[in-house]
Amino acid sequence: MGRKTTTVRLTGWGAETNNSPSILERIFLPLTSLLQGRFTTKSDVWSFGVTLWEVLTLARHQPFESLSDEEVLANISNLASSLSSQLLQSPGYCPKEIRDLMTECWQREERERPSFREIHLFLQRKNLGFDPDKDL
């Protein structure tokens, strides 16, 4: 029998509706999606990086919670014109490898972002040898 494939989209709005994303939703979108309305697996990788950030902050913070809507948009626009690819500050306790993964997810150029397969393999390698009874 053939294997069933399931697709999960982190950024499902916009592509299926005519509604504009809210400011909070815009944080989860790369500039190609915001400006060109183009949604790809690589834009989902960007969103995954933001979701990972939220998990690591234990969902106690919203991205850019101290900024106004205009400041959020300016911050995202500045990211596009700067050499930095750090969208959000690293959560308090965040291993360097995971911070680097998030930064890779937020690369301006889609081709420079990892694929979900690469992310999956990376996280699998990080999990090797992890024992919750000993490590937590």
Q: Output the pLDDT for position 28.
A: 73
Q: How far apart are CA 105 and CA 55, in angstroms?
A: 15
Output phi, psi for 43, to 5 deg.
-70, -30
**What CATH code is assigned to 23-128?**
1.10.510.10
Q: Output the pLDDT for position 16.
A: 46
Q: How far apart are CA 135 and CA 131, in angstroms?
A: 6
What is the Cα Rg of the chain in Å?
16
**Burial class for 31, CB neighbours closer than 10 Å (0-12, 13-18, 19+):** middle
Using a cut of 0.85, tell me whether the model's pTM lies above it: no
Averaged pLDDT, groups of 10, the chain, 136 residues long = 57 48 62 76 91 89 77 70 65 88 90 96 86 66
Spell out the domain ranges in the chain.
23-128
Q: Output the pLDDT for position 63.
A: 77
Q: How far apart are CA 107 and CA 84, in angstroms?
A: 9
Give the three-class secondary structure for 115: coil
Q: Output the pLDDT for position 15.
A: 44
Q: Output the pLDDT for position 85.
A: 46
Q: How far apart are CA 75 and CA 70, in angstroms?
A: 9
**Burial class for 101, CB neighbours closer than 10 Å (0-12, 13-18, 19+):** buried
Q: Output the pLDDT for position 27.
A: 65
Q: Output the pLDDT for position 25.
A: 60
